[in-house]
Structure 1
């Protein structure tokens, strides 16, 4: 006996799981990073300073079709409603639910940031929509603790370079690099700064690797 094809399944953090009528023909996951323009005086173009990563985004289209009489439903809006509810505020959460998209394994856990309906076919007699294409955009959701855990896996024990921005201080740079503002002296000494209290915007500093002996309280 032929195995029944697995359907894409969406499981929200509140409410019933949704199994799609038709699997998507494709889906896309995009990744992007955030950069800030730092414009040192007299330069031809800005220096790009890495700010952080943006959330991955999943894009996919889901088809709702009621032209098959065996479904017992004529109005495609009725079958589309469980998917539409994924983008609406849940009464218990006071926000749209976090959804896990799975098909042959987990694709992404995220929140629906946009939903678009395209009405493609109508009942000639009543005008009721019988075919709807739903386009979803989903951004990956990670709790603060999950992100902090991920950051901790990225060791600061390597030399990096940063571009000084307006308002930066050595303690603020040390806080961003090491998680400890008091660790500013190794940066000052490594870069042989004559006046650590005065940092010119656009200055490129090397942030040295830290070793356990240099960590505060070690």
Structure 2
């Protein structure tokens, strides 16, 4: 019989060191959801067909998962045990820690390097993970079966986690290229100054700064082959 990998939730220090024993789920989830979005600002320029888009920042990634618990292996009669004995340790993960004065950082793992988002490409370092590290934003407890004495015997815990990353972790993962150097760009046929800004600074809204630096009166009339200086940010 093959070994069954169980999903786990581990308390963590901010430096990534585990605290205590990991909580192992009773039954592996049948699904979980990962969601990530960006905040994009629209810059309106008179005369254009649509506003220019400017990246502002990334939004926090979230994970949503339902965990199923059952205590009917102890029977459903007078000897029944409440399922809360198994759910309470997970519910406590949203409570404020007396030492840190905040809910604990946790790591959800299941499947090791097969966890969604794991990459070996250095260019995608921000996805090099084997689990989801975050803080629990919300817990919803739903009890679905009771004993004759009213003890809850089955429950579903719906967890929502928000990803946690320190500033050094983010800067290391992003590997951003230095923006503090002046660059040169050879204009290609058909290129717009907005496209040049996107290619050289990563932000199309920088086109005005490039135009002013190069004293371009008509940014829609660029000569292919000409060299533009892209000023340092």
Does the pair score TM above 0.5?
A: yes
For residue 153 of structure 2, what is the aligned residue in structure 1? 130
For residue 86 of structure 1, what is the aligned residue in structure 2? 93
How far, CA to CA, are the matches of 2:217 and 2:28 in structure 1?
60
How far, CA to CA, are the matches of 1:98 and 1:122 in structure 2?
32
How far, CA to CA, are the matches of 2:67 and 2:88 in structure 1?
13
After superposition, the C-alpha distances for 1:120-149 in whole angstroms (9 at most, x for unaligned) are: 11112x111111100111121110111122
Higher alpha-carbon deviation: 78-87 or 15-24: 15-24
How far, CA to CA, are the matches of 2:40 and 2:175 in structure 1?
22
1:108 aligns with 2:132: yes
How far, CA to CA, are the matches of 1:46 and 1:73 in structure 2?
63
Q: 1:151 aligns with which of 145, 162, 174?
A: 174
1:163 aligns with 2:186: no
TM-fit CA distance, 1:94: 0.9
Alignment of 1:59-70 (within 5 A): 59-69=64-74
Consecutive unaligned residues in structure 1, runs of 5 or more? 171-185, 195-207
Task: Evaluate the alpha carbon distance shift between residue 193 and residue 45 of structure 1 in structure 2; reply closer, same or farther with a 3 A threshold.
Answer: closer
Alignment of 1:35-74 (within 5 A): 35-41=40-46, 46-69=51-74, 74=81
How far, CA to CA, are the matches of 1:23 and 1:62 in structure 2?
7
TM-fit CA distance, 1:4: 3.5
How far, CA to CA, are the matches of 1:22 and 1:93 in structure 2?
30
Consecutive unaligned residues in structure 2, runs of 5 or more? 13-18, 113-129, 184-198, 219-227
TM-fit CA distance, 1:31: 1.6
TM-score (norm 1): 0.69
For residue 11 of structure 1, what is the aligned residue in structure 2? 10
3-state DSSP class of the match of 2:204? strand
How far, CA to CA, are the matches of 2:83 and 2:35 in structure 1?
30
Task: Evaluate the alpha carbon distance shift between residue 19 and residue 39 of structure 1 in structure 2; reply closer, same or farther with a 3 A threshold.
Answer: same
For residue 143 of structure 2, what is the aligned residue in structure 1? 119
How far, CA to CA, are the matches of 2:102 and 2:25 in structure 1?
23
Task: Evaluate the alpha carbon distance shift between residue 3 and residue 151 of structure 1 in structure 2; reply closer, same or farther with a 3 A threshold.
Answer: closer
TM-score (norm 2): 0.65
1:23 aligns with 2:28: yes
